[in-house]
Structures are given as C-alpha cells and as structure tokens.
Amino acid sequence: MKTHFGYEQVEAKDKAKRVGEVFDSVAQKYDVMNDLMSLGVHRYWKHEAIKRLRLHEGQTVLDLAGGTGDLTEKIAPKVSKVVLSDINEKMIEVGKNRLLDKGLFSNIDYVVANAEELPFENNTFDRIIIGFGLRNVTFKEKALQEMFRVLKPGGHALVLEFSKPFLPILNKVYDTYSFTVLPWLGKMLLNDPDSYRYLAESIRMHPDQETLKNMMCQAGFESCDFENFSGGIVAIHRGFKY
C-alpha cells in the first residue's frame, strides 16, 4: 500500500521510518526553528489551543506527538498529570531534558508511542491534544480512533494543525514562503533543507478543515467543530466523547 511522504509516494510501512529520520535531524533545533518559521506566532496558536482544553486540577492529559514538550510545559501546572508521548525517542529525550531543566517533572510521564497504536487503556484521559503532529501520521483515521478510545466519556480531544488558507492572495504568499524561506532556514541552521521541504509538503497534503472535521466524526467524536486562525493557515479542531 502506498501513501504520501510530502509529495513523494512511498510504501505505507516505510513512512514512519522516513518521518522519524526527519525529526531525528531537526530535534535539537526544533523549538528555535518553530520560532523562526512562524515568526513566533506558533506560541499564540498553542496558547489558544490550550485555552480551549478547559483544563483544571484533577485531570489527566495526553499530549500526543508532543515532541519537545512545549505544550506539556504549559499544561502541567494546570492539571494533576500529563503524559508526553511521541513516536520519536530523540524528540522525547530533548523534551524531557528541557522540562527537567525548568523544574517540571513531578506530574509528567514520558511515553514513546505510535499514535496509531496507543499503549493506554480505554477511557484513560480527560483531555487529549495533538499539536502539529497529525499530518505526519501514516493512517490518520487510526490515530483519531485511538484518541477516541483512550479518551474518557465527558472529555474532549483537540487537534492543532496547519490547514488550508481561505484567502487566494494568502495562499500565494504562503506557498512562496513555505517552499523558499523554510528550506533556506533549514539549510542555514541545520544544513538540512530537505527536512523542511518535507514539512512544507506535508502541510499541503494534510486534509482541509471540513475533511478533518468529518474524519473526527467518523472516528466516533461528537459535536465536532473547528476554528481558523491566521486566515486558515492553522485550524483548531475539537471533538467530544459523551
């Protein structure tokens, strides 16, 4: 079975390995690159996503595909427990060291896991967030089904992800920036333009807002909705489990 790795067609069984190689390459500079690539706006998008989780003491939260833990850092002080999970061990290692340096450790667990096969019991988490990670998953439907399975009734899951700009002029500017500036930044900082070219391509291959909303409904979530940010460059999707 074939799937996409950016614009390239690859065997589905090989995609996770290829994605892993990309994030092995970028792990050490991942947070710096996020600031450069988004001109710092990713911090606002993440702040808005966390607000919509409606967090409070006593909750257990899964930060799925959580990478270097910048979402976990903001979530941990608000709840009883956070599980920072990512398929990439190197990203988890960077995140763990980063959070330990900040004195955050008492209520954070670290789990290396594939989003398509989560190693958690049914109905484990009050909230789940996946930030800028779903587009890298080979079988997104499986990941959404797994998120629904491990979410407690009464909880909700949130997907923060790049999406489809709805202004034609913004599309043109965004394309020029993504396929010119991002690879250049990757070359300057990491001598790795290809990884950032893949990241730009993976955004273009990700489902649009309505398609992802429907995928969440098909996975079992109810009252699914989404909000656009920055002209649709990013969208926050939510789905509830009753």
For 80-134, write each residue's pLDDT tens digit: 999 999 999 998 999 999 999 998 889 999 999 999 999 999 999 999 999 999 9
Q: What confidence tens digit (pLDDT) does each residue in 134-154 have?
A: 999 999 999 999 999 999 999
- What is the pTM (predicted TM-score) of this model? 0.90
- In angstroms and rounded to an integer, the radius of gyration of the C-alpha atoms of the chain is 17
Phi, psi torsion values for 102, nearest 5 degrees: -90, 0
CA dist., res. 191 & res. 187, Å (int): 4
Residue 216, pLDDT > 90, answer yes
Strand partners of residue 151: 125
- For residue 40, name the pLDDT band (cuts at 50, 70, 90): confident
Domains of the chain, residue spans: 2-240
Query: In this structure, what is the dihedral angle of CA atoms 132, 135, 136, 141, given to the nearest 10 degrees?
Result: 120
Q: What confidence tens digit (pLDDT) does each residue in 152-197 have?
A: 999 999 999 999 998 877 888 888 888 887 778 778 776 777 877 8
Query: 63, 83 in Cβ contact below 8 A?
Result: yes
Q: Does domain 2-240 have CATH number 3.20.20.10?
A: no
